[in-house]
Amino acid sequence: MAQVYFEDVKVGDEVPQLKKNCSTQQLVLWAAGSGDFYQIHYDKDFAQRTGLKGLIVHGALKNAFLGQLLHDWAGEKGHVRKFGCAYRGMDEPDQDILCRGVVTKTYQDGGKNYVELDVWTEKPDGAKTSPGTAVVTLPSKN
Amino acid sequence: MTQEAKQSVITDEMRAVVGVEGAAATLEVEKTNCRMFARSVGHTDPIFYDEDAAKARGYRSIVAPPGFLGTPIFNPSRPPGAPGEMGGRGYSIPYKRVLNGGTEYEYFPENDVICAGDTITARSKVTGFEEREGSLGPMLITTRETAYTNQHGKLVAKMYGTVIQY
Amino acid sequence: MAEEFQITDEMRAQIGKESEPWEYEVTTTSVRMYARGIGSDDPIHYDVDFAKSQGFRSIVAPLGYIGTPVFLPGKNDPTFGFPRREGGPRLNIPFRGLLDGGTETEYFDVICAGDTLVETSHLADLKLRESGRPMLFVTNEAVYKNKETGKVVAKQRLTSIHM
């Protein structure tokens, strides 16, 4: 992705979308990567015994997807200062998860260029499963 | 202001905990766990995998991906919930069910960027208790803040967490 | 066709071809994770101070853990993690089934957290077993050297079964 500059960003701009689709293998990789070995994410029998329909994607993994969305957009010269989301809706493996972000505010403060965004993950039917916000700093063109 | 539920579960013991920092926990950031986290998310930026690429971009070593703050030191000889273990609670709540309400990460790159080779000290505190009546019934919402400082004493990150018990 | 599979001369010619080296890293987090994975509670694998008091550099890698290969997307197999290297044997195996046929490890030194090992391997043997469905046994031999000292710390003989 080419470096994005503060001057080129305005409220309402959408960042390039990031499409994810977790295989059950990815959920196991995430367990290893995050240290969260809760069985509802890889043991279907266990998940169903807790009342779930089947395996679900970790909320924290979706949060990390939003981190990737922002990191890749901010580019080498940008920095992700803040990001997070609420784990509201459940997502399943082998289903598209679309990560999206929209600029809500741009301002300068203390010599830095700040961009605030709404970020979220979305199911194929458009339902938002993890709504959140982010703050990114971007370089100036000069 | 907080809406009082018919029977509040917030005790004086809990109120006393708000703002009080718990014991510090140590997290280690290394090349193997940075790569594992990055691989599990599906990151493609080589600074999360390749030391030479990270150094070429001005970093000390491989960079910790967004959301990765290190691995707590695991020792089976220490009981879970012991001082220094993340997540130990000093009080009990009558609600049996728990939901993770969400997590927010804040970074301070002007202080330092978290890289492989760092040892991070994490200190947590409850920042508030709130009771709400919702579609799930009466709920207790606990907000927590964890501050992460590196081996040079620099604040490198904060994590804000919300837990919903009902 | 899998049923008509035979080991060819071209395949046999791969035996002995040495791969390019690859680094395997042993870190405190990875040692603890492996120890935790096997269910060990020996503090020698978890507690750095304890390990040092016993005369080791750091926590000791449990037997069987030879470090984690450096993972670079596109360069390592995404499921098994092993590096797909430029040099080394090239086998086109038509079978879809894959089983771990076993690993034998010989140690020449203690491996501890903080070590970086440099591994080279070569194809050592190919055997086709024809009882029932054809099964191809592929054996590799790997040598692990400590990157800093250059000394051989371990050797492995690894067999995979393709069927």
Q: What is the 3 state secondary structure string of C60-127?
A: ECCCCCCCEECCCCCCECCCCCCECCCCCCCCCCCCCCEEEEEEEEEECCCCECCCEEEEEEEEEEEE
Indicate yes or no: CB of A60 within 8 angstroms of CB of B103: yes
d(CA C151, CA C146): 6
What pLDDT digit, counting tens, does each position of A19-37 carry? 999 999 999 999 999 998 9
Could you identify the residue written with the tokens 């405190």?
C28
pLDDT band at B82 (very low <50, low <70, confident <90, very high): very low
**Overall number of domains in chain B:** 1
In a domain, B155, yes or no: yes
In angstroms, what separates the C-alpha of A123 from chain B's closest C-alpha?
Answer: 18
> pLDDT at position C43, please?
96
Containing B72, the helix (H) or strand (E) segment is strand B71-72
List residues of chain B with CB under 8 Å from any CB of chain C. Answer: 28, 30-33, 35-36, 39, 44, 46, 49-50, 71, 73-77
pLDDT digits (tens, 9 = 90+) for C129-153: 987 888 999 999 999 999 999 999 9
Residue C69, strand partner residues? C24
Instruction: Write down the domain spans for chain C.
Output: 2-162
The pTM of this model reads 0.90
Torsion sign, CA atoms B32, B35, B41, B42: negative
DSSP, res B111? T
Cβ distance of A71 and B66 shorter than 8 Å = yes
Is there a contact between A87 and A13 (Cβ–Cβ < 8 Å)? no
pLDDT digits (tens, 9 = 90+) for C29-85: 999 999 999 999 999 999 999 999 999 999 999 999 999 999 999 999 999 899 988
Is the pLDDT score of B83 beyond 90? no
Strand partners, B141: B130, B164
Nearest residue in B to A26, CA atom: B40
pLDDT tens, A118-138?
A: 999 999 999 999 999 999 999
Instruction: Give the pLDDT of residue B125.
Output: 95
Cβ atoms A42, A55 nearer than 8 A: yes
Of B69, B134, B145, the C-alpha closest to B99 is B134
Q: H-helix or E-strand containing A31?
A: helix A24-34
Here the CATH number for the domain that contains residue B137 is 3.10.129
Return the residue of C nearest to B39 by Cα: C73
**The tokens 């220094």 sit on which residue?**
B84
Single-letter code of the amino acid located at B9: V
Please report how the helices B31-41 and A59-74 are oriented relative to each other, as an axis angle in degrees rounded to 10: 100
The Cβ of residue A132 has, within 10 Å, a number of other Cβ atoms equal to: 24
**pLDDT for the residue B87:** 40
| CATH assignment, C2-162 | 3.10.129.10
Q: Is the pLDDT of residue C1 over 60?
A: no
CB contacts under 8 A, C 12-71 vs B, are: 25, 27-30, 32-33, 36, 41, 43, 46-47, 68, 70-71
Residues B45/B31, Cβ–Cβ less than 8 Å: no
User: Is B62 part of a structural domain of the chain?
Assistant: no
Instruction: Identify the band that residue B88 occupies on the pLDDT scale cut at 50, 70 and 90.
Output: very low
CA distance C130 to chain B (A): 39
pLDDT score for A29:
95
The more confidently predicted of residues C123 and C1 is C123
Which residues in C lie closer than 8 A to residue B46 (C-beta atoms)? 72
Instruction: Please compute the mean of the pLDDT values over residues A84-91 and round it to a whole number.
Output: 92
The CATH number corresponding to A7-137 among 3.10.129.10, 3.40.50.510, 3.30.413.10, 3.90.960.10 equals 3.10.129.10
Q: Which amino acid is at A93?
A: P
CA nearest neighbour of C119 among C26, C22, C17 = C22
Disruptive mutation site among A22, A28, A29 for chain B (greatest number of B CBs within 10 Å) = A29
The predicted complex's ipTM stands at 0.93
* Contact residues for B6 (Cβ-Cβ < 8 A; gap 6+): B138
User: Is B135 a member of any domain?
Assistant: yes
Helix (H, G, I), strand (E, B) or coil at A103: strand
Least confident of A62-76, B8-22, B79-93, C141-155: B79-93
DSSP bridge pairs for C47:
none
In a domain, B48, yes or no: no
Count residue pairs from A and B with Cβ separation < 8 A: 94
List, for residues B11-64, the tens digit of each pLDDT value.
Answer: 888 899 899 999 899 999 999 999 999 999 999 999 999 999 999 999 999 999
pLDDT at residue B89 is higher than 70: no
